[in-house]
């Protein structure tokens, strides 16, 4: 599982040079890369250790600019799981990519500037009308038509929701996903509650008056400077406690039926958009945040999904339920690390003992 391929340095990113080295190794060692429907068919027939699925989560622009040309160079397949609300139309035009640099059509400095993971997600919170940090529908269709890229669902919103009334912190402006939890409210001091990816949680809606009161309290006491106090959290806990003791909270949890309707609407919306825009079936989903429960799996099946990928590392076998396909995340670029992970997760025994060994060392 990959997220970004670009020149920036963060835990979600590997460089184009490192990605090319990894892909060159797969091609040289005759690994066969498969789409998920092909992988599932292969598992049913008996797993070949040199068959694998390459996947990218979120559909970031660098998937088109850097990853796609490298995959094309080595004739390797991959699946990109897109968040449909973040994909825009681009009026039949395409961003220049690394392949254009290789063939002399563009210069490297002509390639679009890539934002880091934090910045791109923060912009998505603030703007619900698509994102320039992600591939366009034209680019998605172009890659799909190449026969090397399969476009599948990563939900429509990939948002988060509160799942508990217990306050776990307060907004200090340093967490991009706060905006998803609060419908864009990023005021300093508002209470934060336990949260989960929205598809995997029963949504809790907090008391807006409590939120307003805490935001006003911090605003009147210096805004950002308020958090320079040593005991600022204890102070806000006291304000919240006093409010709850003296007021009837106007909060609520959604019912099971409300959750079912919300989730199935999003699952169907994402699926239908992809099938319309790319003109291919969309039977697979990557669980947002790797989170799921039995109800979500059941509702996804009812919406026509035939399989799903998790963020749980391990080996997929003929006994693996297609709704719980395992993946390992490529967190480092060096080839030695990559080769060791391929070996570990190609064998049931090594994949099962590896987490235990990590805890010992």
Each domain of the chain, given as residue ranges in start order, spans: 4-157+262-360, 160-255
Per-residue pLDDT of the chain (361 residues; tens, 9 = 90+): 999 999 998 889 999 999 999 999 999 999 999 999 999 999 988 766 789 999 999 999 999 999 999 999 999 999 999 999 999 887 778 999 999 999 999 999 999 999 888 778 777 776 666 788 999 999 999 999 999 999 999 999 999 999 999 999 999 988 878 888 998 899 999 999 999 999 999 999 999 999 999 999 999 999 999 999 999 999 999 999 999 999 999 999 999 999 999 999 999 999 999 999 999 999 999 999 999 999 999 999 999 999 999 999 999 999 999 999 999 999 888 999 999 999 999 888 898 888 877 777 6
The two tokens of residue 344 are: 């570990």
Q: What is the rounded distance in angstroms from the CA atom of residue 88 to the CA atom of residue 239? A: 43
Q: What is the rounded distance in angstroms from the CA atom of residue 329 to the CA atom of residue 311? A: 7
- CB contact at 8 A, 267 and 303: yes
pLDDT at 89: 84
Neighbours of 285 (CB within 10 A): 25
Q: Which CATH number fits domain 4-157+262-360: 1.10.3720.10, 3.40.50.150, 3.20.20.370, 3.40.140.10?
A: 3.20.20.370
Q: What is the rounded distance in angstroms from the CA atom of residue 63 to the CA atom of residue 120? A: 14
- pTM equals 0.93
pLDDT at 122: 74
Pair type for strands 191-197 and 51-52:
unpaired
- Residue partners of 25: CB distance under 8 A and separation at least 6: 335, 338, 339
DSSP string spanning 103-147?
TTSS-GGGSPPPPPHHHHHHHHHH--S--TTB-BHHHHHHHHHTT
**Which is nearest to 59 in space by CA: 34, 36, 87?**
87
- CB contact at 8 A, 32 and 346: no
Eight-state DSSP code of residue 60: B
Residues 100-105: contacts with CB under 8 Å, at least 24 apart: 102/69
Q: What is the rounded distance in angstroms from the CA atom of residue 237 to the CA atom of residue 231? A: 10
- CB contact at 8 A, 53 and 34: yes
pLDDT at 129: 64
Place of tokens 């807006």: 208
C-alpha separations of 161 from 131, 200, 283, 293 in Å: 21, 9, 25, 15
Eight-state DSSP code of residue 91: T
Neighbours of 202 (CB within 10 A): 17
pLDDT at 173: 84
């Amino acid at each position: 599982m990959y997220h970004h391929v670009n020149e920036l340095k963060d835990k979600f990113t590997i460089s184009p040079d490192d990605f090319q080295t990894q892909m060159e190794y797969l091609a040289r060692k005759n690994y066969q890369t498969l789409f998920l429907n092909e992988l599932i068919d292969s598992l049913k027939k008996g797993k070949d250790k040199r068959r694998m699925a390459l996947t990218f989560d979120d559909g970031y622009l660098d998937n088109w600019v850097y990853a796609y040309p490298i995959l094309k160079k080595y004739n390797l397949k991959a699946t990109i799981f897109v968040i449909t609300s973040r994909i825009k139309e681009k009026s039949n035009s395409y961003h220049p990519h690394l392949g254009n640099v290789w063939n002399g059509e563009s210069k490297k400095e002509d390639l679009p500037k890539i934002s880091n993971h934090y910045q791109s997600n923060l912009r998505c919170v603030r703007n619900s009308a698509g994102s320039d940090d992600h591939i366009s529908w034209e680019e998605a269709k172009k890659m799909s038509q190449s026969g090397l890229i399969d476009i599948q669902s990563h939900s429509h919103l990939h948002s988060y929701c509160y799942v508990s009334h217990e306050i776990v912190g307060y907004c200090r402006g340093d967490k991009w996903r706060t905006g998803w939890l609060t419908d864009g409210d990023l005021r300093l001091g508002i209470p934060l509650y336990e949260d989960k990816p929205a598809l995997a949680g029963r949504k809790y809606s907090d008391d807006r008056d409590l939120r307003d009161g805490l935001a006003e309290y911090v605003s009147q006491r210096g805004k950002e400077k308020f958090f320079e106090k040593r005991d600022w959290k204890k102070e806000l806990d006291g304000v919240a406690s006093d409010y709850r003791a003296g007021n009837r909270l106007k909060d609520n949890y959604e019912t099971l039926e409300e959750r079912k309707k919300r989730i199935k609407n999003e699952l169907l919306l994402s699926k239908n958009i992809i099938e319309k825009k790319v003109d291919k079936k969309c039977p697979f989903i990557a669980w947002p945040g790797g989170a799921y429960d039995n109800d979500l799996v059941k509702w996804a099946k009812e919406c026509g999904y035939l399989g799903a990928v998790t963020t749980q590392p391990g080996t997929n076998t003929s006994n693996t339920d297609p709704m719980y396909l395992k993946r390992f995340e490529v967190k480092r670029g060096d080839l030695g690390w990559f080769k060791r992970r391929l070996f570990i997760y190609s064998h049931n025994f090594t994949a099962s003992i590896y987490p235990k060994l990590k805890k010992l060392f």
